[in-house]
Amino acid sequence: MRIDVVSIFPEYLAPLRLSLLGRAQEDGLLTLAVHDLRDFTFDRHRTVDDTPYGGGAGMVMKPEPWALALEHVLERQAGAHGAADNPRRPVLVVPSPAGTVFTQAMAYELAEEPTLAFACGRYEGIDERVLDWAGERFEVRPVSLGDYVLNGGEVAVMAMVEAVGRLLPGVVGNPESLVEESHSAGLLEYPVYTKPSSWRGLDIPEVLLSGNHGKIASWRLEQQLRRTVARRPELLEGAEAAPFGKGERAVLRELGYEVVDGRLRRVAS
Ligand code: JQB
C-alpha cells in the first residue's frame, strides 16, 4: 500500500517511520510519503491560512495550496502498485471533529485500498470547497478520531495509519494475533499476565496455571463479557447472541442480559 499525507507539520508524522510500520516500509510492504503543504505556496510568507468569510474566531486554510498538493499526490499515486487496476477513485481521508467516527471496521476497509491519502487540517479547518473539488478526484471521507477536540489532523492520522498499517499482510509478525483480535471483535480484551506468577503479594488467576486450555478460553471469554458490561455496555446492547454458548449466556444473564430474537437485550433492573 502507498500512503500520502499532506500537512503543514510533516515532522509531526516522523514517528510513523519507527517500530512496526518502520519495518514495514523497509520491507516494501508500505510506502509512506509526507508532503509539506507550504511547498505548494508561492508567496514570500508561504501563506496557508486566511480569515473566515462570515466572521468568527480563528483562521481557515486557503484552498489553492490544497488543490496543488492533492494534484501532486494523485500524480505520485498513479504509479503505485495496484493503483492502475483500481476501478474506484483513490480514498482521501480528511480528519475532522465533524467526521464519521473511525472504527476497526473502517480500518479493515481502508486496508484493502492500494493507495490512501490523508489531508491534515489545522486552525479552524480547510475551506469546504477543497472537499467538493476533491470529491471529483477522490472518494472523500471526513473521519473523526473520536468525540474530543484536537488542534489538527496530524494526531488522528498517526492513529489511523497505525491502525490500517498493522492490518497489511506481513506487517504484524504473528498473524495469529490478528485472527484472535477479529475473533473477539465487539468485546473488550481479557486481562493478561506474565511472570512472576506472584508479584508484590498479587497472584495471577489460578486457572491460567491449570494447563486446561478449554477452561482458560472460557475464563477469558467471561472476563471479556464482565469488562464489556462494566466499561462499554453499549457494545453488547443489540449484539448477535450466536457466538455465545451455554456458559457465556449464563454469565450474561447474571450480568443482566437476556436473548431476544437472537440478540442481546439489557433486562430492566
Ligand atoms: C483543525 C482539527 C481535528 C482536524 C479528528 C478529532 O477543526 C477544528 N474545529 C474546531 C476546533 C478545532 C479544530 C482544529 N482542527 C483541523 C482538524 C481537529 C481534525 C479533530 C479530530 N480527526 N478532534 N479534532 N477527533
Ligand 1 atom with least separation from CA of 95: 22
Kindly report the pTM of this predicted structure: 0.96
Cα–Cα dist 116/55, whole Å: 34
Share of residues in the chain with pLDDT > 70 (%): 100
- Peptide bond before 196: cis, by omega within 30 degrees of 0? yes
> How many angstroms separate the alpha carbon of residue 235 from the centre of ligand 1?
26
Q: How much is the pLDDT for 233?
A: 95
Mutation to probe ligand 1, out of 143, 145, 149, 155 (largest number of atoms < 8 A from CB)? 149
Is the distance from CB of 265 to CB of 239 less than 8 angstroms? no
Amino acid letter, residue 227: R
Ligand 1 atom with least separation from CA of 126: 16
pLDDT in tens, 143-201: 999 999 999 999 999 999 999 999 999 999 898 989 888 877 889 999 999 999 999 99
Task: Compute the average pLDDT of residues 45-67.
Answer: 98
Mean pLDDT for the chain overall: 96
268 pLDDT more than 90 = no
Residue with cell 475532522: 96
Helix (H, G, I), strand (E, B) or coil at 21: helix
The grid coordinates of residue 164 equal: 490500517
The grid coordinates of residue 53 equal: 468569510
Ligand 1 pocket, CB under 6 A: 95-97, 121-122, 124-125, 144-146, 148-153, 156
Share of residues in the chain with pLDDT > 90 (%): 93
Q: Which distant-in-sequence residues (6+ apart) come within 8 Å of 245 by Cβ?
A: none
pLDDT in tens, 96-151: 999 999 999 999 999 999 999 999 999 999 999 999 999 999 999 999 999 999 99
Q: How much is the pLDDT for 179?
A: 86
Q: How much is the pLDDT for 182?
A: 83
Helix (H, G, I), strand (E, B) or coil at 225: helix
Are β-strands 198-199 and 202-203 bridged in parallel, bridged antiparallel, or unpaired? antiparallel
DSSP state of 229: H
Q: How much is the pLDDT for 184?
A: 75
CA distances from 4 to 13, 104, 119, 152 (A): 11, 21, 9, 17
The grid coordinates of residue 154 equal: 496530524
Q: How much is the pLDDT for 16?
A: 95
